[in-house]
Amino acid sequence: MHIMSLRNSLGVSALALTIAVGATTAAQAAGDLVRIATVPAGAEVTGLSTNALGELFMNAQHPGKKNAYKEGGKPALIGYIAGFDSRTYKGNGMSIPAVSDQVHVADGNYEIFAKAGDKLGSGQLFGGVYNTKGELMYVSNAPDFNGFVPLGANKAYLYTAWEGAGRDGASGVSRLLLNRTNGVWKSDLTKSKMLDLSSIDGGFVMCSGLVTPWGTPLMAEEYFYYGTEVWNHPANHDDDRRPGYKGGNDVSYIKPVNMTEYLGKMTNPYRYGYMIEANNAAAASDPDLVKHYVTGRLSHETAAIMPDMKTVYMSDDDSGAYVGKKYNTASGGVLFKFVADVKGDLSAGTLYAAKLKQDAGTDPHKTGFDVTWVMLGHSNNATVAGWISDYDNVKVSDYVEGQSSYVSNTDVNNWAEGRTGKDLNGDGKTGSYKDDRVAFLESRKAAAALGATNEWDKLEGVTSVGNMVYLGISAISYPMDKTWGHLDWATGKKDAANVAAIGLDREDCGGTYVATTGDDFNITRLDPHVIGKTVEGKRCDPNLPANPDNILAMADGSLMIGEDAGAKKHALDMLWMKRP
């Protein structure tokens, strides 16, 4: 089925209840920033990807803000804009339609491939998360990554990662078979399925990703569990599954016990929080799934692979706003870089973290950063896998309050002191650690301990084309706010007097940044690109993108910006095109 574009279906005059009244921004008037789609009320724009034909794939994630689908509810939508060529589109943008349960587009038609809960030929439900016994746990309503893998001129697979269901992080990956008929892609649900992820111990809050230049889907595990020491906390594994803010005793938002239910045994936190590659993705059999442990354990949102096919930029999606009152369970994010030893092979390489130096000034619309890189370590998947296995037998009964059954903050500090030769915690001693596991198992803490910048707030998208790299920041607030101060990476305590590396005027509507690299594809500078604007009522200017999440760089240098704004910021979440 499909939904006609706003222009072609009911007509602009019938549906164009323009929420924003007043002059458009100069950017829109000039035609370089255009609104090209909106999604149903409560939904988020995800799954941005293209193919060689310039066709644009996108999802409407969690309509009605429901992350789990139940029969009778509003299902997530997976599809593409038929008749829209992202390589050549020069048309105008669209007005904001009345609140609806449809996807509206400025040009072409939104062709729906499938909805959460649809029955597949495998007997499974689309978006269903199945445990290692093949039993349905729940149906996710949160599709994110889309990866188009061609099988020929008129046949393809579309891989989609499903984030889980709210606090339940066990995730799924679907593979839809697509056939092109009369120039339009249609799905064949009878030959589609949910993949078995048990070979990689399941996926944990799987988010966005990309198709690599060598043709493999590369998917991100978004939630790596900053406060690893409470993974085996008894309150996280008892019968009370409620978070503290709802009167429960869970000490974490995402539930570790959910992964235990998936595997049927106690899980190891160090098996989650990486980039996952699907090799042999065009084969009729299931792809070969590989977790690239060497890319570091962090809150991977997505990645961007540069033309050398070795340099990979990775976004780390978290916020200091989420730090626990008792346990240090969150921090700001870090911009990471991985440089593979061999082009097209992510199994070995060197991990780096960005250190920022802010320009004079605090206006987020004008203020950029110089960037240098802190080397964390060099390793390979096999070595890191060996370190991970050291924690496979940790049990809930091993938990001791104030200690850690895993890599502790003391271990991180000692490792950092050994690397720098300095007494970093002021105890009069210079510590050391036996190996580099800290760099790959506690990557954000390792980065912060060595002086990299861990103050990004919701560092979401990263995408590239040529030597251009774009970052999407959902909100320039909390750890990025000049009045917020700095959170100690180990304790979570805030020093309000310490502005630290990022100190900008707060802009809750977020924005995007851009870097232009040299032939070495190394980022040395970040500048504001498109920044949102807060208006009356703490809403966001409807003529600018708000709370960027999924972003996608196009071949001509255009940037697609998908929103995760919500009704308090924009009436509907939107998809924008920023032309070069």
- Euclidean distance between CA atoms 235 and 259, whole angstroms: 15
Q: Find the mean pLDDT for residues 15-41.
A: 59
Check whether 395 has a pLDDT greater than 90: yes
- Among residues 74, 61, 255, the alpha carbon closest in space to that of 162 is found at 61
Residues 293-321 as b or e (16 or more Cβ within 10 Å = b): bbbbbbbbbbbbbbeebbbbbbbbbbbbb
Q: Report helix, strand or coil for 122.
A: coil
E strand or H helix at 381? helix 381-389
- Euclidean distance between CA atoms 495 and 485, whole angstroms: 5
Q: Check residue 31 and give its pLDDT.
A: 64
Check whether 17 has a pLDDT greater than 60: no
What are the structure tokens assigned to 164, written together?
Answer: 């889980």
Q: Find the mean pLDDT for residues 398-408.
A: 97
Q: Find the mean pLDDT for residues 527-555.
A: 97
Q: Check residue 24 and give its pLDDT.
A: 37
Q: How large a percentage of the chain has pLDDT more than 70?
A: 95
Q: Check residue 245 and give its pLDDT.
A: 86
The phi, psi pair for 276, rounded to 5°, reads: -115, 125
E strand or H helix at 173? strand 172-181
Check whether 481 has a pLDDT greater than 60: yes
Using a cut of 0.75, tell me whether the model's pTM lies above it. yes
Q: Find the mean pLDDT for residues 85-92.
A: 91
Q: Check residue 224 and give its pLDDT.
A: 83
Residue pLDDT, tens place only, 515-526: 999 999 999 999
Alpha-carbon distance values, 77 to 39, 42, 116, 144, 166 (Å): 9, 13, 7, 11, 17
Check whether 4 has a pLDDT greater than 70: no
Residue labelled with tokens 């602009």: 12
Which of 3-7, 315-319, 327-331, 498-502 reaches the highest mean pLDDT? 315-319
Q: Check residue 8 and give its pLDDT.
A: 31
Check whether 5 has a pLDDT greater than 90: no
- Among residues 511, 509, 489, 490, the alpha carbon closest in space to that of 500 is found at 489
| 3-class DSSP string for 187-242 | EEEEEEEECCCHHHCCCECEEEEEECCCCCEEEEECCCCCCHHHCCCHHHCCCCCC
- Among residues 3, 2, 8, the alpha carbon closest in space to that of 94 is found at 8
Residue pLDDT, tens place only, 208-220: 999 999 999 999 9
Check whether 512 has a pLDDT greater than 60: yes
Alpha-carbon distance values, 140 to 73, 96, 270, 405, 456 (Å): 12, 28, 24, 31, 28
Q: Check residue 28 and give its pLDDT.
A: 41
CB-based contact 499:486 (threshold 8 Å): yes
What are the structure tokens assigned to 250, written together?
Answer: 């869970």
Q: Find the mean pLDDT for residues 245-273.
A: 95
Check whether 553 has a pLDDT greater than 90: yes
Strands (E), 488-578: 494-495, 511-516, 525-531, 534-535, 539-540, 548-553, 559-563, 574-578
DSSP code, position 502? -
Residue pLDDT, tens place only, 98-114: 878 899 999 999 999 99
Q: Report helix, strand or coil for 110.
A: strand
DSSP for 282-343, please give it.
TSSSPPEEEEEGGG-SS-EEEEEE-TTSSEEEEEE---GGG--SSS-----B--EEEEEEET
AA letter at 176: L
Check whether 272 has a pLDDT greater than 80: yes
Check whether 23 has a pLDDT greater than 80: no
> pLDDT averaged over the chain?
93
**Cα-based torsion angle of the residue sequence 460, 305, 372, 428 in order, rounded to the nearest 10 degrees:** 70
Q: Check residue 34 and give its pLDDT.
A: 97
CB-based contact 556:87 (threshold 8 Å): yes
Residue pLDDT, tens place only, 290-335: 999 999 999 999 999 999 999 999 999 998 888 887 888 889 999 9
